[in-house]
Amino acid sequence: MSVGTFFRHIRQSFNGAWTVVRQGFKSLRKQPQVLIYPYGAIIFILLSSPIVGRFIFSVWNRVGQPEVIDQVTKAAPSELLVQLGLVTFSVFYTIFVTSYFTCMIAAATLAQLEGRSTSLLYGLRVVIRRFFRVSKFALLAIFFLPMGIIAQRRKMTSPRGIIEAISSSFSLSLSQLAPAIVTGQKGVYETLRHSIDTLGQLWKESLIIRLGTFLAILLLASISFLPKLIENWWFNGRTAHAVGWIITALLGASSYVLLKVISTVFTTTLYHQAKTKK
């Protein structure tokens, strides 16, 4: 492949990705009510996480712990354990709750792309009808990497197949599965294979969109640490330290939800284009 051909393919990939992004923003302009889902996710997480977190930690303290965990708990500083527990809970709870709202926005966006009229809470009604199916994928969201590799084990008969299976599984997220979750009835591994194969037709455009989303997440993650910097420079005391960590965790989770759920519009648009080309 010549250098000119290589750069032409890159330009075409960026043009294709930009087309998907523009179509996604066009979809948002046609149904701005879809934005209630990311904001709904943020509000729900902020209101429910203290209650759910307190319940989980209380259950954790009542259950007998293995000897290794008990030794680590006694040896580690209590302040470190609190921070670690807060961050771990925030990450897992945010991923779990975001999965529902991701499916809501995917359902509404897919309906709009297919030319179907939708009501204000169309996505919510779809998720309620498929609550147990969505919940199953939400609980498994943190295991998509190994599950994606298992789902593509038939490809792993050559070095190229191994690289394709690992790379596609490494970047697998629920936003890529959401269109198939809210429209199909296939099992977990069949849904994984279907989504990977469908989006694989436009893998260059998908890669560019995912890289852009990843960079935006890194930017927002760095901004979420501003409360800790402000606290370290202008405030003192144990209370200020705890409040700084809480605000940092909540701000980081909120930024992640807002960006991740809105990026689902672009992934759903890409899925629709790839499925239409079949």
pLDDT in tens, 176-201: 899 999 998 889 999 998 888 888 77
Q: Say whether pLDDT at 271 is over 80.
A: yes
User: Considering the domain boundaries, does residue 12 fall inside one?
Assistant: no
Structural domain including 202 reads: 17-277
Q: Say whether pLDDT at 72 is over 50.
A: no
DSSP string, 9-66: HHHHHHHHHHHHHHHHHHHHHH-GGGGHHHHHHHHHHHHHHHHHHHHHHHHHHHSPPP
User: Considering the domain boundaries, does residue 67 fall inside one?
Assistant: yes
Across residues 28-32, what is the average pLDDT?
75
User: Considering the domain boundaries, does residue 68 fall inside one?
Assistant: yes
Residue 164 tokens read as: 């394709």
Residue 196 tokens read as: 């990977």
Task: Specify the amino acid at residue 276.
Answer: T
Q: What is the pTM of this model?
A: 0.72
149-170 pLDDT, tens digit per residue, is 888 888 888 887 787 778 777 7
Tally of domains within the chain: 1
172: left (phi over 0), alpha (psi -120 to 50) or beta: beta
Task: State the pLDDT confidence band at 128, using cuts at 50, 70 and 90.
Answer: very high
